[in-house]
Copies of this chain bind each other. A is one copy, B any other.
Amino acid sequence: MAVTIKDVAKLANVAPSTVSRVIADNPRISEETKERVREAMKELGYHPNFIARSLANQSTQALGLVMPSSADKVFQNPFFPEVIRGISTMAHEKDYALYMSTGETEDEIFEGVVKMVQGKRVDGIVLLYSRIDDEVINYLVENKFPFTVIGKPFKDADSITHVDNDNYLASKEVTEYLIGLGHDRIAFVGGSLNLVVTIDRLLGYEKALRNSNLVYRDDYIVQEEFLKEGGREAVKELLALTDPPTALVVTDDIMALGVLNTLAEMGISVPDDISVVSFNNSMFSEVSRPPLTSVNINIFDLGCTAAKYVIEQIENPSGHVKRVIVPHKLVKRQSCKEKSLQLKTVE
């Protein structure tokens, strides 16, 4: 059995409660005894048992991370390591640890959240995604458990602290950029429509088209998974149309990579035949062929800020709901071209 507060107490000739107070650096303990107790701790190699402390305290100094699906898939998209990087940095600053449950299906993930919350394994939660009709959010709200979401909650957005980009605007700008290059057949390749981010970006895209009196065509809207294969599927669908698009808004770099690959295999050149813009500005957008014009959404900041505000909620439960919009910026590289300069049009 490890050394406990009692062993220290015995050695230092004080009561266990005194040791406890020394650990908490309680000002009502004399410097002398503090010194004596500290020496005893050092001598015995004492370290507090966090579990016991958590039980007495009702606090764990840990943040729970909830991902949209199995780590298996999630970690293939650089978005997640990057948000976690942000969360971790802030967590470290505030001295919190990170806790991840490992569910695979939606149900398992929900179960994982319940275990974290009811099991009191974490003090707060960061949701790394936002989807419509999410039972996780409902559960957290009902239980008044501290949490923040990265992305915009589908409903009750003004009563839930969240950190998001202005995805509507970003997508609108990106589409306008393409329109500005003379494109009028622009397709949208997004992730699942269950994700609020997809909805927002689709809306922005639609708005831009409408503003320019371009037609919004259902067959130009494709939804796939946020993985490379997703991009591959999208291209196949779109190029099978009788009048395929000349430009693509892709909502994720990793999908865009799939798009690029597939296009290359088909002998279609980017940007000579088709222009592509994407989101996330991950390292992939720099190294792809051609380098991708992509929206930098400051993923790291997203994570940092989200962590900051759960911790704030934990430490000051009466605080106010926050809503933070992290700025975005279009980074132009070589995947877009004026339509008139494109060599030929795919038919």
Enumerate chain B residues within 8 angstroms of A97, measured Cβ to Cβ. 99-102, 112, 121
Known: A55-B55, A103-B92, A289-B287. A115 touches B72 (CB 8 A): no
Which residue of B is nearest A3, CB measured?
B118
Enumerate chain B residues within 8 angstroms of A118, measured Cβ to Cβ. 2, 47-49
The interface stretch among A81-89, A192-200, A210-218 is: A81-89
Enumerate chain B residues within 8 angstroms of A49, measured Cβ to Cβ. 55, 118-120
Asked whether, in the complex, the Cβ of B75 is within 8 Å of the Cβ of A119, the reply is: no
Residue interface mask A25-69, B partner, CB < 8 A = 1: 000000000000000000000011111111100001010000000
Judged by a CB distance under 8 angstroms, whether A302 is at the interface is no
- Count of A interface residues, CB-CB < 8 Å: 51
When all copies of this chain in the complex are counted, the total is: 2
A268–B298 CA distance with the chains assembled, in angstroms: 33
Judged by a CB distance under 8 angstroms, whether A257 is at the interface is yes
Judged by a CB distance under 8 angstroms, whether A7 is at the interface is no
Judged by a CB distance under 8 angstroms, whether A80 is at the interface is yes
Judged by a CB distance under 8 angstroms, whether A98 is at the interface is yes
Judged by a CB distance under 8 angstroms, whether A179 is at the interface is no
Asked whether, in the complex, the Cβ of B85 is within 8 Å of the Cβ of A81, the reply is: no
Judged by a CB distance under 8 angstroms, whether A96 is at the interface is yes
Asked whether, in the complex, the Cβ of B48 is within 8 Å of the Cβ of A72, the reply is: no
Enumerate chain B residues within 8 angstroms of A101, measured Cβ to Cβ. 97-98
Asked whether, in the complex, the Cβ of B88 is within 8 Å of the Cβ of A50, the reply is: no
Enumerate chain B residues within 8 angstroms of A92, measured Cβ to Cβ. 70-71, 102-104, 108
A76–B284 CA distance with the chains assembled, in angstroms: 12
A101–B100 CA distance with the chains assembled, in angstroms: 11
Which positions in A face B, CB cutoff 8 Å?
A: 2, 47-55, 60, 62, 70-72, 75-76, 78, 80-82, 84-85, 88-89, 91-92, 96-104, 108, 112, 114-115, 118-121, 228, 257, 283-284, 287-289
> 4 closest pairs, A vs B, by CB?
A50-B119, A47-B118, A92-B102, A71-B88
